[in-house]
Amino acid sequence: MKKNMLDRTRGAMPLYKQIETIIKESIDNGEYSFGDILPAESEYMREYSVSRITVRQALQNLASDGYVKGQPGIGTIVAYKKIAETLKGIKSFSQEMEEHGIEMETVRCKTSYVTPPQNVANLFGDSFSGKCLKIERIRAAEDAPIVFSTTYIPASRNLPEDPACYMSSLYEYLYKEHGITVAKATDTLEAVIADKTLSESLKIKEGDAVFKRCRKSYDQNSSPLEVSISFYPGNRYSYTIGL
């Protein structure tokens, strides 16, 4: 990182914001990992020829976003873990997190029987009509929201509407309570930008990068089971696809 990386021209992004972006990128790309101590404020001051107030503003913003935290007597340390998931086989989100040694918590679960949006109905097949059980959940790890998901399951499955049934692993619940096994699934992956709803649900800023996964799964009889649309904050979650 060089001093000339800062843009001091008229109309440029504020210097504290530029430094904030540089530090954030150094965390995202693995230069600094969870628990690492960042350089002292004085080092950033010398590196970028800026005031202590500028550096502190950058670090305070990063702390508000959950990237760093101040540790008395130590300095500023990296405070978040980016979860890297390898795509191989069918897993529930709970299974993915369990393999990383992360305990999941469902912080919001809303259920209702609804007529699904047309794009969701189309995924179930041209002949699909009727209602679905809609399960909307926010799941968190270490007090940070990791996924906001909306799942649609055809009403013909006769699943209960009680949110308490879906507070933990959906796939485990379907298997243990209803004998339904998820035997096949297709995932569509894309990057999107957080709108107001995603910003509030995932505790990120509007305009932040978000990872979107649309899954269509089938049961052991090859019948369509679910359509799930899930959003993951880009700074806390990544996917690796093995070919």
Within this chain, do residues 207 and 143 fall inside the same structural domain, yes or no?
yes
Within this chain, do residues 17 and 91 fall inside the same structural domain, yes or no?
no
- Of 78, 113, 141, the residue that ends a domain is 78
Which tens digit of pLDDT belongs to each residue from 93-147? 555 555 556 677 899 999 999 999 988 998 888 778 889 999 999 998 877 898 9
Please indicate, yes or no, whether the overall pTM of this predicted structure exceeds 0.85: no
Tell me if 80 sits within 8 A of 144, measured CB to CB.
yes
Q: What is the CATH number of the domain that holds 157?
A: 3.40.1410.10
Which tens digit of pLDDT belongs to each residue from 154-202? 999 999 999 999 999 899 999 999 999 988 888 888 889 999 999 999 9
d(CA 115, CA 131): 4
- Of 78, 96, 128, the residue that ends a domain is 78
Within this chain, do residues 207 and 92 fall inside the same structural domain, yes or no?
yes
Within this chain, do residues 129 and 214 fall inside the same structural domain, yes or no?
yes
Q: Tally the domains of the chain.
A: 2
Within this chain, do residues 196 and 124 fall inside the same structural domain, yes or no?
yes
Closest to 76 (Cα-Cα) out of 150, 155, 23, 131: 23
Within this chain, do residues 115 and 62 fall inside the same structural domain, yes or no?
no
- Of 25, 56, 78, the residue that ends a domain is 78
